[in-house]
A and B are shown apart, each in its own frame.
Chain A
Amino acid sequence: MAKRERTKANAETMATKQRDISVSEFFAKNRHLLGFDNPRKALLTTVKEAVDNALDACEEASILPDIEVKIEEVEAATSASKAGRYRVTITDNGPGIVRKQVENIFGRLLYGSKFHRLKMSRGQQGIGISAAGMYGLMTTGKPMVITTRPKKTKPAHHLELAMDTSKNRPEVTIDVETEDFPQTSSGTGTRVSIEMSAKFFRGKGSVETYLEQTAIANPHAEITFIPPDKAKEDPTLASADKGESTSPDREGGVTSDTSVDSLADASGSSSSGPSGEDIARTTELPDRIVYPRTIDELPPETAEIKPHPYGVELGAFLNKIKTTDEKQLAGFFKNEFCRVPPSAVKEITDRASTKTKSYSGQTWIKSIETADADRLYKALQDSKLRAPPTDCLAPIGVRVMLAGLLKGVRAEFYAASTRNPSVYRGNPFQIEAAIAFGGELPGDQPARVIRFANRVPLLYQQSACSAHKSVVETSWKNYGMSQPRGSAPVGPIVIMIHMASVWVPFTSESKEAIADYDEIRKEMRLALQECGRKLGTYIRRRQKMKREGQKRDVFERYIGEIAKACNAIAGADTEELYDALMKQAKRRTEIADAVLDEDGQYVKDNSNGRLDNDDGVIIMRDDDDTPPPPGGTGFQPVTPNEPESPARESKSTRKSPAKKKPAAKAKPKPKTPAKKPATRRPTASATEAKPDAIKNKGKPKPRVRLGQSQESGLFG
């Protein structure tokens, strides 16, 4: 520490300036490390931290999360380039927070329940929400407002919290009990409100995108988003104006009910999942955007695990030996690590033993010196141990991923796959991938890659993320997509990658990109390939269907002529012959019908392909077919001089051969309008260019019922 004289300072003078740096102070100066680089991102980071915490808390308390995110404009920006002032309020229906922990949780950096354990959760370090509060305080001087009700029967606590950055200590400015807390479905909950200097926007990297993706990865959560422009509208007024009758679909109609019971019903019935007839879709109402719940199950609870020896470095190992309470090696290995059974201990100690010194399970810990530890560590790394347990991981799961994608992305083909757990540096992790293809997705743009880590969307630093890299290095050409060199595939495709792990290796504290471990990237690639193969099968089959369809078109076209000629030559019954031949044509091209004959909104592929019975695949039925023009394709025998019916637009009608079946009737009788018009689309105005958010002009849903929950460290 001592410096040279020539700087005109000596050890003593310098010592006067040397003091502790408070973590809060450090982050106050380096807020970009936490994702508060600019006013735009600040808003997102705040919402993200709060929502992550809310979801974590709800899941820990086994509550199906209802989360409301509201952003109000307090003060408009003076100019477009300047930041305005916004109040961000996040309400959840979580378990609430006991009074004495409130200040610690919201007022201190690096305080939480999640840092010290190896358990899969959204938050990790315990920085997030308190940093958001700190940012708000610094930019507006307004303290964070927290309302929490940990007990149904008791009033809620209302606190206002400032933060002393130099001491990393919270200052409570107001602390009262209040009844002013929304009735949530669970009866408990938490609401955090932060006022901050920020900039609201929509589009890429925005709060809306974040919530949309969160909804995809967490279909068990119902998320309501009230952006500033909608927050101004008076919900009751809107509700009166736009009655149920104008609500274009069931979703809007049901959720407009304010009672908690029917809300629960609505979410229940709209969450029929991938097997249901109606698909709950994201809907935009005049006063809010609702991301409905589509799955009624909470993610499985995850276990906490001990570190796996492969992930422990020598220093950490030495430290463990120093600090352990165990007396002997056997106990040390058993209790400080996972997956080191007595048999493995014997192997390790035997391997570590030399001529001069031998170890066993009975060796006393206190007799272990650095050289011994070194030997033991090496033996430990060389020994064959089972992979860490994987009950600590809660993958989203194929079914849930599909439900999530179905909600947010309008495509025709969905496939998902979950890899088996794997390990990087001793940390178990699991990779999942899903893709949505076709439908209304834009066909000429590079794939949209949505990344998740422990169900949290990652919005920034895409190219630094190993998820994105794995997309690029997967050869999509094998699956019928086009892919420019060194980039993501181009086409109507959305790729979702999720990494679940007890410890997700982020490249920075703002948690924007997953670090590039070979093991992780390999698993990602394998997961993508699994989905890709299904996609390839589908694309090929679709092409085949198209070909078969065209084929039938050809046959169909000529069968009429043939029947007529046969009638003229041999007096065969034209109609009968036509039917017989059409029957054959159908049989010979039945692949074209595989998916088309179904009446359901969407069907599992029931042709004889490999996609058959694959739970990881959903294929939407294309119900945009226009019914064929009356008489358009029907063959009308024996009336050769009749004017030709309009030429068929073979492309669209082609897909519905079943519909235009009533062909061979001698008289041109009016065709029954083949089908009721498609009902899958909730609204006519459904989503231009943007596949995920459905602009549903339904009725408003004046509700205030979301609680928040942060029992234990919600930092993150």
Chain B
Amino acid sequence: MAKKTTKKTSKKSTTKKSSSAVEPRPSAWGKRDARTAAAIRDLTEGIVKSAMSGREPKVDIPTRSSANTKWNKSRGILQMGSATTTRQLFNLGQARNFMQTLLHGQGINELVDAGKTLSLRGMFYKGLHTVKGTKEKTFNDQTESDKVLEDLEVTLGALREELHIFAKKRGTMVGNITVIDNGDEINCRKMGSGGYAIPSICEPEVIQFKNVDADFILHVEKDTVWQRFNEDRFWETHNCILTEGSGQPTRGVRRMLHRLHKEHGLPVICLLDCDPWGHYIYSVIKQGSISLAFESERLAIPEAKFLGIRAKDYEQCELSDDVQIELNDRDITRAKQIMAYPWFADHKPWQKEIKKMLSNGFKMEVESLITKDISYVTEVYVPERLKAEDWLS
């Protein structure tokens, strides 16, 4: 079923056809929109053509799987391979999906035309209706819709932003920087206790930077830790930008970090939990993820540093037994998987780090440092480590 063929058609024709695209709207997105619209049109015309000539309509979708993800060692990022999966109309398991792909194609086409954006949930409703003559809905739930949209992204070779789709906001930022968001100037030094919510779309068309005074970016795993740092005005005392991603950072957060890093040369330093989940967050920030491998180039930050929590901290910081959270079987399996990732496999310090955690037999959260003192993390832990440049990279 999953026939692997080289993906050529859509990309090639995209560039070729872009000139004949619909009249570009006068907007910052103009050029990108024209390209997106042309790609959708191309895809559709290909289907119509094969239908009319009696051939089976199909769409080649680049495969988003670990097998089709290549580790580019020299660049230090994950990249998507060339394998594609063919989606056919006349295949029982794919017919519905095929229809959904076209429905969303139609939806995006409308969005691009109208110059509006919709959330993923919004797209789900946009494509939702009952299939004529049946009681069947076009989409059962948003998950189904989201997957189709991801497929479309890779098939059309367009970013989600270019499809006029945004995700739920997640992640907060504060620090010595001024951001222009959709024309509004936002001074991130004066964001009170809440911070500036990082938008889902962080493309230069929407977000521009001004007055970037910070020296580096401290990215923490979750909101609770971020609050601690913000309350202690850490960004002020250390002249940095403080971000959090509420767990696995969204594309918006990663794009923001990436742009600040690339455009303003700010090092990205991560403060994450000492558990496989924290390690994986770091891995995604650094190399990119499998499902978004096609976007790695504009998301991954190979130079990102892992400040902590380190497995050695239990002894080094003389933490009490109480902070230990036992590793369960899943954690152990996951840790071993992460150890085997090619970008960790020949990285001795990381091998040591994960082995240490495994031999400890427990994980630790950033909050565990609170057992020392409320502000231990902001006043002692991070400054000391920064000074010593004691991090993993």
The yes or no answer to A600 lying at the interface (CB within 8 A) is no
Instruction: Assess A554 versus B102: contact at CB under 8 Å? Given A572-B48, A644-B133.
Output: no
| Distance, CA A581 to CA B47, complexed state (A) | 10
**Cα distance A88–B44 in the bound complex, in angstroms:** 81
- Distance in angstroms from B17 CB to nearest chain A CB is 12
Best-surrounded residue of B52, B105, B132, B133 (most CB of chain A within 10 A): B133
Q: Is the CB of B95 within 8 A of A644?
A: no
Using known A-B contacts A555-B89, A572-B48, determine if residue A561 contacts B103 with beta carbons closer than 8 Å: yes
**Contact, CB under 8 Å: A566 / B132:** no
Tell whether, in the assembled complex, residue A566 and residue B95 are in contact, meaning their CB atoms are under 8 Å apart: no
Q: Tell me the number of A-to-B contacts counted with CB atoms below 8 Å.
A: 96
Q: What 3 A-B pairs are tightest by C-beta distance, nearest first?
A: A558-B99, A565-B102, A570-B44
Contact B54 A561 (CB under 8 A): no
B41 touching A569, Cβ below 8 Å = yes
Per DSSP, chain A at the interface is helix
- Contact, CB under 8 Å: B51 / A565: no
Chain A residues in 8 Å Cβ range of B102: 561-562, 565-566, 569
A565/B106 in contact, CB under 8 A:
yes
The interface residues of chain B lying within 8 Å CB-to-CB of A554 are 92, 95-96
* Residue of A whose beta carbon sits closest to that of B108: A569
CB distance from A239 to the nearest CB of B (A): 52
Say yes or no for B5: interface residue by CB 8 A criterion: no
B54 touches A584 (CB 8 A): yes
Complex interface residues of chain B between 87 and 104 (CB less than 8 A to chain A): 89-90, 92, 95-96, 98-99, 102-103
Least CB separation from B102: chain A residue: A565
- B109 CB to closest chain A CB, in angstroms? 5
Given contacts A561-B131, A645-B132, contact A569 B40 (CB under 8 A): yes
Which residues of A lie under 8 Å from residue B51 when comparing CB positions? 577, 580-581, 584
Is the Cβ of A569 less than 8 Å from the Cβ of B57?
A: no
* Chain A contacts for B103, CB-based, 8 A: 561, 565
Which B residues are within 8 Å of any A CB, using their own CB? 40-41, 44-45, 47-48, 51-52, 54, 56-57, 89-90, 92, 95-96, 98-99, 102-103, 105-106, 109-110, 130-136, 138
- The reply to whether B106 and A569 contact each other, CB–CB distance below 8 Å, is yes
Interface of B is mostly: helix
Asked, given contacts A576-B52, A577-B52, A584-B56, whether A568 binds B106 with beta carbons under 8 Å apart, the answer is yes
Q: Are A551 and B48 in contact (CB under 8 A)?
A: no
Is there a chain B Cβ closer than 8 Å to A675's Cβ?
no
Question: Is A332 among interface residues, defined by CB-CB distance under 8 A?
Answer: no
Contact (Cβ within 8 A) B57 A581: yes
Q: Does residue A647 face the partner (Cβ distance < 8 Å to B)?
A: yes
A256 contacts partner chain B, Cβ-Cβ < 8 Å:
no
Compute how far the CA of A581 lies from the CA of B89 in the bound complex, rounded to whole angstroms.
9
Chain A residues 556 to 608 lying within 8 A of chain B, measured CB to CB, are: 557-562, 564-566, 568-570, 572, 576-577, 580-581, 583-585, 588
Contact bitstring A615-643, B, C-beta under 8 A = 1, else 0:
00000000000000000111110000000
Contacts of B89 in A (CB 8 A): 555, 558-559, 562, 581
Name the residue on B nearest A556 (C-beta): B133
Could you tell me which residues of chain A, from 625 to 673, have a CB within 8 Å of some CB in chain B?
A: 632-636, 644-645, 647-648
Q: Do B92 and A558 touch across chains, with their CB atoms under 8 A apart? A: no
B133 and A635 contacting across the interface, CB-CB below 8 Å: yes
Once A557-B134, A557-B136 are accepted as A-B contacts, the answer to whether A551 and B44 lie under 8 Å apart by CB is no
Evaluate contact between B133 and A584: CB separation under 8 angstroms: no
For residue B360, give the distance in angstroms from its CB to the closest CB of chain A: 54
Minimum Cβ distance to chain A for residue B155 (Å): 14
Given the contacts A565-B105, A635-B133, A647-B135, A555 and B40 also touching, CB distance less than 8 Å: no
Known: A565-B103, A583-B54, A585-B90. A577 touches B48 (CB 8 A): yes
Residues on the A chain within 8 Å of B109, using CB: 568-569
The answer to whether residues A561 and B132 also contact, given A554-B95, A572-B44 and a CB cut-off of 8 A, is yes
Contact A569 B44 (CB under 8 A): yes
Could you say which residues of chain B place their CB within 8 Å of the CB of A557? 131-134, 136
| B99, A562: Cβ atoms closer than 8 Å | yes
Residues in B neighbouring A648, C-beta threshold 8 A: 133-134
CA distance A115 to B95 in the complex (A): 72
Q: Which residues of A contact B44 (CB under 8 A)?
A: 565-566, 569-570, 572
C-alpha spacing A584/B90, complex, angstroms: 8
Whether the Cβ atoms of B136 and A570 lie closer than 8 Å is no
The 11 sampled A-B contact pairs (Cβ below 8 Å) are A557-B131, A561-B132, A561-B138, A562-B57, A562-B98, A565-B106, A566-B44, A568-B106, A569-B44, A581-B51, A588-B90
Name the CB-closest residue of A to B90: A588
